[in-house]
């Protein structure tokens, strides 16, 4: 008979995840007579779960307290449990396991006491229920059974087995938003939506669009390529989800005097930036908000990039670079009426993903625009080319807009969950991928109507 023990594998103290190995009959955690038990998100008893399957679930007490865990059966009588890494949670899980009848594995051999029952080892319920089941009770003298603990001290740790990826474990154990919190967050998002178009998207999420899609996705056979395609599609919409209330950041960069401020004013339709012939007149990052194709954008007019200049101007350029590094899109303005310079070329090299705008196209060309592939010719003065520029800009920010009622992830935690599921699916770990999605759906299904 194997000694029913639980053993903490991760060091004490705060960490991201705490792990336990539990040795003994897995159905001890299933039996309804025992107050503490494991409940898997897929609803199956632990004893019927396949070895190696990654299970999201919770250890629960009759009184309603519960701790969320990820479980994996390593063999027919060995189980690994992973829980949130906070010390309080790990202690709680250890207590629950002890209450379920698994003796805490101690590094010192059991004393000469006739049984291993310490103050916490066998609560009253266990003595009259589980603990008295034939063949299940163990004593200290049986502790030398088939299971031989591998931990001999706090410094020596066995290899943690078996979750297919740390990312899946972390996604599963991320402190989940409750259904009520999510509902409240989405309600706020509808209210704070920046444009009518983003309000429609937020509203669909408030009414369960994403949950419905994930439930539908879980109906597909796991091996179907459709699942991976749908997950990729949902993740492609993460950028839209991030910009329902917060505008997309679009920075305009270029040498001084190429027409950046004029271009922004033309796009905004009003005079906002200082337009002067004097180089270096835009000293800070000036931003203005507008909508483009129904999506909110924040346009930033940056200091003209050039070497030299006074210190104040250089500070402006440093701030601009900082802003641009975090921008969703950069527009690189090149003066179409002047020759291309070395500074223009170095900006093209610095911002290879930028959308190139050739300015002042109402003036005689200073160079052949065909030299810059994909450059869009515009005139802030006559407004020529502005409509095409807005179309191109929208396409770059939102290559595929969500359809009506389509699911869109709206928080970084949702994105992480989908990424974890996709990562598992791409490696053929369907059970782990499904566990990531099931965990999320289970928590949210009731919240959306």
Ligand X SMILES: Nc1nc2c(ncn2[C@@H]2O[C@H](COP(=O)(O)OP(=O)(O)O)[C@@H](O)[C@H]2O)c(=O)[nH]1
User: Which residue ranges make up the site for ligand X (CB under 6 A)?
Assistant: 254, 256-262, 275-277, 282, 304, 359-360, 362-363, 379-381
359 lines the binding site for Mg ion (CB under 5 A)? no
Q: Shortest approach of ligand X to residue 247 CB, angstroms?
A: 21
Angle at 93 between CA 87 and CA 97, to 5 degrees: 145
261 lines the binding site for Mg ion (CB under 5 A)? yes
Residue 251: name its binding partner from ligand X, Mg ion, none (Cβ under 5 to 8 Å by kind): none
282 lines the binding site for Mg ion (CB under 5 A)? yes
Contact 359, 259 (CB under 8 A): yes
Residue 362: name its binding partner from Mg ion, ligand X, none (Cβ under 5 to 8 Å by kind): ligand X
Nearer to Mg ion, 208 or 259 (CB): 259
Q: Shortest approach of ligand X to residue 322 CB, angstroms?
A: 19
Q: Shortest approach of ligand X to residue 311 CB, angstroms?
A: 19
Residue 259: name its binding partner from ligand X, Mg ion, none (Cβ under 5 to 8 Å by kind): ligand X
Contact 393, 386 (CB under 8 A): no
Residue 277: name its binding partner from Mg ion, ligand X, none (Cβ under 5 to 8 Å by kind): ligand X
Task: Please tell me whether residue 447 adopts helix, strand or coil conformation.
Answer: helix
Nearer to Mg ion, 137 or 283 (CB): 283
Q: 251 forms bridges with which residues in the sheet?
A: 300, 330
Query: Contacts with Mg ion: how many residues (CB under 5 A)?
Result: 2
Closest C-alpha among 107, 142, 136, 108 to residue 122: 136
Contact 6, 97 (CB under 8 A): yes
Helix residue ranges per DSSP H, 86-178: 87-99, 124-128, 166-173
Residue 280: name its binding partner from Mg ion, ligand X, none (Cβ under 5 to 8 Å by kind): none
Q: Which two tokens stand for residue 168?
A: 């899946």
Q: 5 forms bridges with which residues in the sheet?
A: 23, 103
302 lines the binding site for Mg ion (CB under 5 A)? no
Report the residue number whose CB is nearest to Mg ion.
261
Nearer to ligand X, 45 or 309 (CB): 309
Nearer to Mg ion, 98 or 261 (CB): 261
Nearer to Mg ion, 26 or 256 (CB): 256
Nearer to ligand X, 40 or 299 (CB): 299
* Helix (H) or strand (E) segment spanning residue 343: helix 342-350
Q: Shortest approach of Mg ion to residue 281 CB, angstroms?
A: 6
Give the Å distances, CA to CA, from 64 to 37, 60, 148, 163, 402.
12, 7, 34, 28, 40
Listed ranges 261-269, 318-326, 361-369, 386-394: which one lies at the site for Mg ion (CB under 5 A): 261-269
With both helix axes pointing from N to C terminus, report the angle between 209-219 and 196-206 in degrees, rounded to the nearest 10: 50
Q: 252 forms bridges with which residues in the sheet?
A: 301, 331
- Longest C-alpha distance within the chain, in Å? 100
Residue 385: name its binding partner from Mg ion, ligand X, none (Cβ under 5 to 8 Å by kind): none
Nearer to Mg ion, 241 or 254 (CB): 254
Listed ranges 50-58, 163-171, 257-265, 425-433: which one lies at the site for Mg ion (CB under 5 A): 257-265
Residue 384: name its binding partner from Mg ion, ligand X, none (Cβ under 5 to 8 Å by kind): none
Q: Which two tokens stand for residue 71?
A: 């479980």
Q: Shortest approach of ligand X to residue 305 CB, angstroms?
A: 10
What phi and psi, each to the nearest 5 degrees, are found at residue 338? -115, 165
- Written as one string, the DSSP assignment of 176-231 is PPPHHHHHHHHHHHHHH-SSHHHHHHHHHHHTTHHHHHHHHHHHS-TT-HHHHHHH
Nearer to ligand X, 296 or 304 (CB): 304
Q: Shortest approach of ligand X to residue 335 CB, angstroms?
A: 8
Contact 424, 436 (CB under 8 A): yes
Q: Shortest approach of ligand X to residue 374 CB, angstroms?
A: 19
Give the Å distances, CA to CA, from 179 to 120, 241, 410, 441, 446.
34, 18, 14, 10, 7
Residue 312: name its binding partner from ligand X, Mg ion, none (Cβ under 5 to 8 Å by kind): none
Closest C-alpha among 396, 385, 361 to residue 249: 396
Nearer to ligand X, 122 or 359 (CB): 359
Q: Shortest approach of Mg ion to residue 335 CB, angstroms?
A: 12
Nearer to ligand X, 41 or 258 (CB): 258
Q: Shortest approach of ligand X to residue 86 CB, angstroms?
A: 52
Residue 258: name its binding partner from Mg ion, ligand X, none (Cβ under 5 to 8 Å by kind): ligand X
State the residues that interact with Mg ion by CB under 5 A: 261, 282
């Amino acid at each position: 008979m194997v000694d029913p023990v639980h053993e903490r594998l991760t060091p004490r103290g705060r960490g991201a995840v705490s792990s336990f190995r539990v040795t003994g009959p897995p159905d001890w955690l299933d039996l309804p007579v025992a107050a503490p038990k494991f409940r898997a998100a897929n609803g199956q008893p632990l004893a019927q779960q396949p070895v190696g399957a990654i299970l999201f679930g919770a250890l629960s007490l009759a009184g309603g307290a519960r701790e969320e865990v990820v479980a994996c059966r390593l063999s027919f009588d060995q189980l690994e449990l992973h829980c949130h890494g906070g010390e309080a949670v790990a202690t709680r899980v250890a207590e629950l396991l002890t209450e379920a009848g698994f003796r805490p594995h101690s590094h010192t051999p059991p004393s000469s006491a006739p049984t291993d029952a310490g103050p916490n080892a066998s609560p009253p319920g266990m003595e009259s229920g589980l603990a008295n089941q034939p063949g299940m009770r163990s004593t200290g003298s049986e502790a030398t059974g088939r299971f031989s603990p591998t931990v001999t001290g706090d410094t020596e740790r066995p290899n943690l087995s078996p979750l297919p990826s740390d990312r899946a474990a972390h996604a599963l154990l991320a402190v989940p938003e409750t259904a009520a919190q999510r509902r409240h967050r989405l309600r706020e998002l509808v209210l704070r939506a920046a444009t009518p178009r983003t309000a429609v998207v937020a509203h669909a999420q408030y009414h369960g669009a994403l949950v419905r899609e994930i439930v539908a996705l879980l109906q597909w056979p796991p091996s179907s390529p459709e699942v991976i395609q749908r997950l990729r599609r949902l993740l492609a919409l993460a950028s839209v989800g991030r910009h329902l209330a917060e505008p997309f950041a679009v920075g305009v960069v270029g040498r001084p005097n190429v027409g950046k401020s004029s271009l922004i004013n033309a796009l905004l339709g009003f005079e906002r930036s200082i337009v002067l012939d004097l180089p270096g007149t835009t000293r800070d990052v000036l931003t203005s908000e507008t909508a483009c194709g129904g999506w909110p954008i924040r346009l930033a007019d940056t200091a003209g990039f050039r070497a030299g200049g006074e210190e104040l101007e250089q500070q402006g350029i440093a701030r601009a670079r900082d802003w641009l590094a975090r921008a969703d899109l950069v527009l690189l303005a090149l003066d179409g009426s002047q020759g291309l310079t070395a500074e223009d070329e170095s900006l093209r090299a610095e911002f290879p993903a930028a959308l190139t705008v050739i300015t002042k196209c109402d003036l005689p060309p200073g160079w052949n625009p065909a030299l810059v592939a994909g450059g869009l010719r515009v005139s802030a003065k006559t407004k020529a080319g502005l409509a095409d520029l807005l179309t191109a800009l929208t396409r770059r920010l939102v290559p595929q807009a969500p359809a009506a009622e389509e699911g869109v992830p709206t928080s970084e935690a949702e994105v992480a969950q989908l990424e974890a599921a996709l990562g598992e699916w791409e490696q053929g770990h369907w059970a782990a991928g499904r566990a990531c999605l099931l965990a999320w759906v289970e928590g949210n299904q009731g919240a959306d109507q």
